[in-house]
Structure 1
Amino acid sequence: MNSLRKQLNCITSKSYIKTITYRCLATVTEEITRQNDIFVAEQQRQKEEVGRIEKIEVQYEGVPANETLVMNKFLSTPYDCAKHLGDKIRDKSVVALLNGETLWHMHRPLPDSCRLELLHYNIPNPAAVNKTFWRSCSFLLGAVISDAFKDNVNVQLHSFPSPNVKSGSFVYDVQLSLDDWKPTESELKVLSIEMIKFCQKEFHLECLDVSKDIALEIFQNNPHKTQQIPDIAEHNGDKVTLYKAGTHIDISKGPMVPNTRHLGRITVANAIKLDTDIPGGPIYRFQGVALPAAITLNHFAYSILEERARILNSARIPGSQGVDNEDNSFISRIAQ
Structure 2
Amino acid sequence: MKQRALSLSKTLLLSHNSKGLPAIRCLSTQEALERRHHLFVLEKKRQLEKVGRIEKIEVNYKGIPNDCTLVMNKDISTPYDCARHLGEWHMESSALALLDGSVHWDMHRPLTENCTLELQRFNIAEPQQVNKAFWRTCSLLLGACATVAFKDTVPVHLHSFPGPDIRSGSFIYDVDLPSLPDWKPTPQELHTLSAEYIQLTRKQLPIERLDVSMELALEMFVDNQHKAKQIPSIAKATGKVTLYKVDKYVDISKGPLISNTGQIGRVAVTSVHKLTGSSESDLKQLYRFQGVALPTGVILNHFAFTILTERAKKLNHARSPINPFSESMSAEESIAARA
Same structural fold, with TM-score higher than 0.5 when normalized by the shorter chain = yes
Work out the number of aligned pairs and report it: 308
The equivalent position to 1:287 in structure 2, one of 285, 290, 309, is 290
User: Contact (CA 8 Å) 2:170, 2:292: kept in 1 or not?
Assistant: yes
Is 2:121 the counterpart of 1:120? yes
Report the equivalent of 2:145.
Answer: 144
C-alpha distance in 2, partners of 1:81/1:297? 32
Report the equivalent of 1:200.
Answer: 202
1:32-181 equivalences in 2 (<5 Å): 32-177=33-178, 178-181=180-183
Runs ≥4 residues deviating over 3 A? 22-25, 320-324
User: Contact (CA 8 Å) 1:98, 1:117: kept in 2 or not?
Assistant: yes
Is 2:276 the counterpart of 1:265? no
Amino acid at match of 1:118: L
SS at match of 1:183: coil
C-alpha distance in 2, partners of 1:160/1:239? 19
Report the equivalent of 2:12.
Answer: none
User: Contact (CA 8 Å) 1:263, 1:290: kept in 2 or not?
Assistant: yes
Amino acid at match of 1:162: G
SS at match of 2:148: coil
User: Contact (CA 8 Å) 2:227, 2:337: kept in 1 or not?
Assistant: no
Report the equivalent of 1:325.
Answer: 336
C-alpha distance in 2, partners of 1:173/1:321? 13
Residue-by-residue CA offset, 1:6-52 (whole Å, 9 max, x unaligned): xxxxxxxxxxx11x4x6479x98221221111111100000000000
The equivalent position to 2:307 in structure 1, one of 286, 304, 316, is 304
User: Contact (CA 8 Å) 1:179, 1:282: kept in 2 or not?
Assistant: yes
C-alpha distance in 1, partners of 2:218/2:5? 29
Amino acid at match of 2:143: G
Given the two structures, how large is their TM-score scaled by the length of structure 2?
0.87
C-alpha distance in 2, partners of 1:286/1:200? 21
Question: In structure 2, do the counterparts of structure 1 residues 30 and 23 end up closer, same or farther at CA, with 3 Å as the change threshold?
Answer: closer
Residue-by-residue CA offset, 1:176-202 (whole Å, 9 max, x unaligned): 021111111111011001100122111
Instruction: Indicate the larger mover: 223-232 or 177-186.
Output: 177-186
Given the two structures, how large is their TM-score scaled by the length of structure 1?
0.88
Residue-by-residue CA offset, 1:294-327 (whole Å, 9 max, x unaligned): 2110000000000000011121011388973244
C-alpha distance in 1, partners of 2:202/2:29? 18
C-alpha distance in 2, partners of 1:180/1:193? 23
Report the equivalent of 1:5.
Answer: none
C-alpha distance in 2, partners of 1:279/1:326? 17
1:234-249 equivalences in 2 (<5 Å): 234-235=236-237, 237-249=238-250
Is 2:196 the counterpart of 1:185? no
Report the equivalent of 1:211.
Answer: 213
Instruction: Indicate the larger mover: 121-130 or 242-251.
Output: 121-130
Residue-by-residue CA offset, 1:60-95 (whole Å, 9 max, x unaligned): 111111110000000000000011111011110000
User: Contact (CA 8 Å) 1:276, 1:283: kept in 2 or not?
Assistant: no
Residue-by-residue CA offset, 1:259-281 (whole Å, 9 max, x unaligned): 11111111000000001344153
The equivalent position to 1:220 in structure 2, one of 193, 205, 222, is 222
C-alpha distance in 1, partners of 2:122/2:38? 34
SS at match of 1:146: helix
C-alpha distance in 2, partners of 1:319/1:28? 24
User: Contact (CA 8 Å) 1:169, 1:309: kept in 2 or not?
Assistant: yes
SS at match of 1:29: helix
C-alpha distance in 2, partners of 1:156/1:212? 20
Residue-by-residue CA offset, 1:197-248 (whole Å, 9 max, x unaligned): 122111110110000000000000100000000000002x100000000110
Report the equivalent of 1:233.
Answer: 235
Amino acid at match of 2:293: A
User: Contact (CA 8 Å) 2:283, 2:322: kept in 1 or not?
Assistant: no
